[in-house]
């Protein structure tokens, strides 16, 4: 399906420019979720059918970020996915993080201060140059939540490899519109309720087999078993050999909604989605006399902007005192023009 055809599968009220807060479900995702909820209400089915969506979602995520399915774990939040990584850091390790970083990729390192783990923060544009022989792990967002800045992924990876530092990426604000090769990092975590348009409560992680054995599956459970259906009762410990050993038992309905949405993204293709999203973001920026950029998330500082947008029915966010607008494949030129008219009032 091409992008134009896919756009017919959404029902947004005009003026939704806030996918960086949460994404909107396409019809197949909404309908699948309603059907599952009806089954739950009436008790007409067993849970295994709902759980099949977890496997579909895992496969779709692997396709979107270009990694083997065996290297993907499923969870609920970014911080939960990163917790085993933080716990594996040796005492006295140094973690390098941008100074304006969403805390789900900051608190998992800061909580280990009592073990001597040191978190050093630097401006994002100086992150590459700050990686040195004393850096054990570099953690950053692929796309910054606050203003949509795209990290220098290739340069960060090269500098980290030169100093044998691990690379952890929060790709929540990029995965779903920005193509990238997750397999080049050591760990990639993604909350699926934004650009992947899943219900909140589904998250995905890439765990490189190069370093996976360094981590302990601290939330080990039946679903992480080598055969989940043979892992209901009793010892011995029998976890999966691949990244599934880090799975938590999934919130079924979140993945029921996630699978159709993510499969649709894969069908349309991220290059086409990126082109559409960035084109609309730049229509918005240039309409306000700002220079064009490369991100689907943009921020502007216009006096009274939040109030003007709200009065016009345009839904955006305020981050760090600036209006943040974000554009996805269901966004239209009409949405952009509504915002421009409001801000020009």
What's the confidence (pLDDT) of residue 318?
Answer: 81
Q: Helix-strand-coil percent breakdown of the chain, rounded to 5? A: 45, 15, 40
Is residue 320 very low, low, confident or very high in pLDDT (cuts 50, 70, 90)?
Answer: low
Question: Coil, helix or strand for 316?
Answer: coil
Q: Which of 137-151, 215-229, 277-291, 296-310 has the lowest mean pLDDT?
A: 296-310
Task: Compute the distance between CA of residue 263 and CA of residue 266 in angstroms, rounded to an integer.
Answer: 5
- By DSSP bridging, strand 297-300 and strand 187-191 are unpaired
How much is the pLDDT for 345?
Answer: 80
**Cα–Cα distance list, 193 to 30, 90, 190, 202, 237 (Å):** 13, 32, 9, 7, 32
Looking at 42-51, 161-170, 315-324, which range is the least confident one?
Answer: 315-324
Tell whether omega for the bond before 142 is within 30 degrees of 0, i.e. cis. Answer: no
Give per-residue pLDDT as tens, 169-217: 999 999 999 999 999 999 999 999 999 999 999 999 999 999 999 999 9
What backbone torsions phi and psi does residue 252 show, to the nearest 5 degrees?
A: -50, -50
CA 332 – CA 239 distance, rounded (Å): 46
What is the mean predicted confidence (pLDDT) over 309-316? 94
Comparing 138 with 323, the larger pLDDT belongs to 138
- Side-chain half-sphere exposure of 132, counting CA atoms within 13 A: 6
Mean pLDDT of the chain: 97
Question: What is the tens place of the pLDDT at every residue in 5-51?
Answer: 999 999 999 999 999 999 999 999 999 999 999 999 999 999 999 99
Per-residue model confidence (pLDDT) at position 62:
98
For residue range 80-95, list pLDDT tens digits in order.
Answer: 999 999 999 999 999 9
Q: What share of the chain in percent tops pLDDT 90?
A: 96
Both tokens of residue 342? Answer: 């409001």
Task: Quickly state the pLDDT bin for 291 (edges 50, 70, 90).
Answer: very high
Sign of the Cα torsion 112, 194, 262, 64 reads negative
Tell me how far apart the alpha carbons of residues 227 and 168 are, in angstroms, rounded to a whole number: 29
pLDDT, position 306: 87
Give how far the C-alpha of residue 307 lies from the chain's centroid of Cα atoms, to the nearest Å. 29
DSSP 100-117: S--GGGTHHHHTTGGGT-
Kindly tell me if the per-residue pLDDT of 160 is higher than 80: yes
Q: What is the pLDDT of residue 298?
A: 97
More confident of the two residues 54 and 322: 54
Domains of the chain: 3-26+270-344 (3.90.1150.10), 48-266 (3.40.640.10)
Q: Which residues of the chain form beta strands (DSSP E)? A: 72-75, 94-98, 118-122, 137-141, 166-170, 187-191, 203-207, 297-300, 317-319, 322-326
């Amino acid at each position: 399906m091409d992008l134009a055809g896919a756009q017919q599968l959404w029902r947004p009220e005009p003026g939704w420019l806030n996918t960086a807060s949460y994404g909107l479900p396409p019809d197949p995702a909404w309908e699948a979720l309603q059907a599952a909820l009806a089954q739950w209400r009436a008790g007409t089915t067993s849970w295994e059918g709902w759980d099949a969506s977890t496997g579909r979602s895992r496969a779709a995520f692997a396709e979107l970020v270009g990694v083997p399915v065996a290297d993907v774990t499923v969870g609920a939040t970014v911080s939960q996915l990163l917790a085993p990584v933080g716990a594996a850091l040796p005492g006295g390790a140094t973690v390098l993080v941008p100074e304006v970083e969403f805390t789900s990729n900051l608190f998992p390192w800061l909580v280990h201060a009592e073990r001597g783990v040191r978190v050093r923060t630097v401006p994002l544009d100086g992150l590459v140059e700050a990686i040195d022989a004393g850096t054990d792990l570099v953690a950053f967002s692929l796309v910054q939540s606050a203003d949509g800045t795209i990290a220098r992924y290739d340069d960060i990876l090269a500098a980290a490899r030169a100093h044998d530092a691990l690379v952890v990426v929060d790709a929540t604000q990029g995965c779903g519109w920005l193509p990238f090769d997750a397999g080049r990092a050591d760990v990639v975590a993604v909350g699926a309720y934004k650009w992947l348009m899943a219900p909140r409560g589904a998250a995905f992680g890439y765990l490189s087999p190069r370093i996976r054995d360094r981590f302990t599956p601290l939330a080990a459970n039946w679903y992480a078993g080598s055969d989940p259906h043979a892992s209901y009762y009793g010892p011995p410990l029998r976890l999966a050999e691949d990244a599934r050993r880090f799975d938590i038992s999934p919130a079924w309905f979140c993945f029921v909604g996630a699978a159709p949405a993510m499969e649709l993204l894969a069908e349309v293709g991220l290059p086409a989605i990126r082109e559409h999203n960035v084109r609309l973001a730049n229509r918005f920026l240039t309409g306000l006399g700002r220079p064009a950029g490369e991100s689907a998330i943009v921020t502007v500082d216009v006096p009274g902007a939040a109030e003007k947008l709200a009065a016009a029915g345009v839904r955006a966010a305020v981050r760090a005192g600036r209006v943040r607008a974000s554009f996805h494949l269901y966004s239209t030129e009409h949405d952009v023009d509504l915002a421009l008219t409001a801000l020009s009032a």
